[in-house]
A and B are shown apart, each in its own frame.
Chain A
Amino acid sequence: MGKYADRVFVTGLGAVSAAGVGADVLWDACVESRSLATDVPSRWERYYNSTSRVWAPLVEPDYRSFGIRRSEELLLSRPALLGVVSTEMASNSAGLARATSATPGGGYAFTDVAPERVGVFVGTGLGGARSPFDNYAAHLLAGMKDTLKALRDERPDDLLVQELADALGAHPRVNPMVICQTMPNALAANIALRIGAQAVAETFCAACASGTVAIGKAYRALLAGEVDIALAGGIEHLSDRAGGVFMGFDRLQTLASPFTGVGTENRPFDADRSGFLFSEGGAGMAVLETGASVKRRGAEKQIIAELVGFGQSNDAFSIAAISPQHNAFTQMLRAALVDAALTPDSIDYINTHGTGTVLNDATEASFIENTFGDKPLLNSTKSILGHSIGAAGALEFVVTALSLKHQTVHASRNLSKPIAKLNFALETTEAPLRYALSQNFGFGGHNAALVLKHYDGALG
């Protein structure tokens, strides 16, 4: 273990989301309060009559433009690819130079830091859980392959034929990489391979709080001197072509149902809220590093924000429902504020979990009212992006860091009748922001919060 660090900085950000590819693309969508909701595919309605009719699908990045070869695209799972793309963006924005010759694992290590001082911390809800379904499809459809291929051309309007042909996917036979794609730790491991990180590569599963937990764990490892630079964030790619995950959430009555049209259903903290906007996923990755590392490589200009606190807790109440009591939230917040040596009245902005479900929002709003009063500005990034499960906390961390950098809080979309007298950002607002809190709560009772600080130019 190395020397203990005293400060942790965010020096690079990368994001893939329903808004597109790039942290700046995500930020622009938030500032413009753009709706990313679209109708679910009509074929889903053939075998399931859903309450919700909207989702926020992902557009696949151009992997080649991130140096990912076609063969690598075939070897890695979709979430692993999103993680690599987001890592490339984050490390580029941090100005981390790369070696020109490959590591034994085929990656390209950073030149400014020893590989054994670099760690990877990734959160995910479902990891590569979809990958075995490709093998199952291959098993079911192997005997029909040629017939399906012919029918696909002959019957372009037959949704069943088209869907079955699609299910053949990129791997019309048993995929030998299915284990390496399914295991959740593959997400961190593939990033470690890509950047030659040898200190640690860990994956955290805490449902919708996964990304937040991963970033918090990276923060702790940096403070403990275990690593000098961490790639930390959250990744999810539900690859929900057939709507299987969507329908599960819909059946649980957690999704936004029709209101007045596409783009208006998703209404966190509004009296007419009905559930969350299902997002197909995303990836948010951040470069976190110690102050000593920033100084050593002369990267002060890359500093976006400072990370000053992390806290977590568990409700131990229900596998899916949020606890109406606030004790677990209070415990989470206390831990985060102790790290930061702050009291609640120091927080200027809270990027809420803000799902848009009836119970979640009521509980979160009452917790904020009791703990912070009406001082901090509040918004819900999910009002724009929808809920990207294991990536949500990391994407919201990206937005919170950029909010501090730009001294701007994006509007909470579709909030016309707030459920509490709190300081909701009804429009995108410029404001002096010193400290911000980003909090997330997940199925399983997982609660996690990060405290960020505006970088005032004093590295010390």
Chain B
Amino acid sequence: MSDQSVALLESRIAAVVHEVLQTPTATFNEDLLIREDLGADSMQVIALMIAFDAEFDVEFNADAIPASGVTMGWLRDFIATALAEQKA
């Protein structure tokens, strides 16, 4: 994935997070944790999952979720991998 594609993917992820969690700005920060830093509760996590599914056509398997928590950077890498598999 080119740098330009990664930047576009990050901005789309930030837009979804901003829309669902109503964060003040649509900013991508790869270290931010969805629950701990952005304050998403369990229902908002489900809302995010559905929104990412609609935006990128990707499914989040519970087994894939890291025990250390989901960061925006992890989301980018997971979605980029799924998109690459779709193209393959």
Residues in A neighbouring B20, C-beta threshold 8 A: 69, 71
Cα A173 to Cα B57 with chains together (Å): 10
Residues in B neighbouring A172, C-beta threshold 8 A: 53, 57
Within 8 A of A (CB), among B30-51: 46-51
Assess the B57–A71 pair: CB atoms within 8 A: no
Cα A106 to Cα B19 with chains together (Å): 13
A176 part of interface (Cβ distance < 8 Å):
yes
Known contacts A71-B47, A75-B47: A173-B19 contact under CB 8 Å: no
Within 8 A of B (CB), among A171-202: 171-173, 175-177
Assess the A173–B54 pair: CB atoms within 8 A: no
Assess the A175–B19 pair: CB atoms within 8 A: no
The prevalent SS among residues of A at the interface is loop
- The 8 Å CB contact of B59, one of A70, A170, A173, is A173
Q: Which of A71, A75, A171, A172 has the most CB of B within 10 A?
A: A71
Cα A170 to Cα B53 with chains together (Å): 9
Known contacts A172-B57, A173-B59: A71-B46 contact under CB 8 Å: no
Q: How far is the CB of B57 from chain A (nearest CB, A)?
A: 7
Q: Which of B16, B22, B49, B51 has the most CB of A within 10 A?
A: B51
Assess the B46–A176 pair: CB atoms within 8 A: yes
Interface size class of B (residues with CB under 8 A): 10 to 19
Assess the B47–A70 pair: CB atoms within 8 A: no
Assess the B51–A74 pair: CB atoms within 8 A: yes
Interface string of A64-84 (1 = CB under 8 A from B): 000001110011000000000
- The 8 Å CB contact of B50, one of A69, A102, A175, is A175
- The 8 Å CB contact of B19, one of A69, A75, A102, A170, is A69
Interface size class of A (residues with CB under 8 A): 10 to 19
Cα A456 to Cα B51 with chains together (Å): 50
Assess the A177–B46 pair: CB atoms within 8 A: yes
Q: How far is the CB of B31 from chain A (nearest CB, A)?
A: 23
Residues in A neighbouring B54, C-beta threshold 8 A: 70, 74, 170
- The residue of chain A having its C-beta at the shortest distance from the C-beta of B46 within the complex is A176
Q: How far is the CB of B86 from chain A (nearest CB, A)?
A: 9
Cα A177 to Cα B51 with chains together (Å): 12
Q: How far is the CB of B87 from chain A (nearest CB, A)?
A: 12
Cα A177 to Cα B48 with chains together (Å): 12
Cα A171 to Cα B46 with chains together (Å): 13
Assess the A177–B19 pair: CB atoms within 8 A: no
Residues in B neighbouring A70, C-beta threshold 8 A: 19, 51, 54
Sample of 15 further A-B pairs with CB below 8 A, known A71-B20, A74-B50, A75-B50: A69-B19, A69-B20, A70-B19, A70-B51, A70-B54, A71-B16, A74-B47, A74-B51, A75-B46, A102-B22, A172-B57, A173-B53, A173-B59, A177-B46, A177-B50
A-B contact pairs, 9 of them (CB 8 A): A70-B19, A70-B51, A71-B47, A74-B50, A74-B51, A74-B54, A75-B47, A172-B53, A173-B59
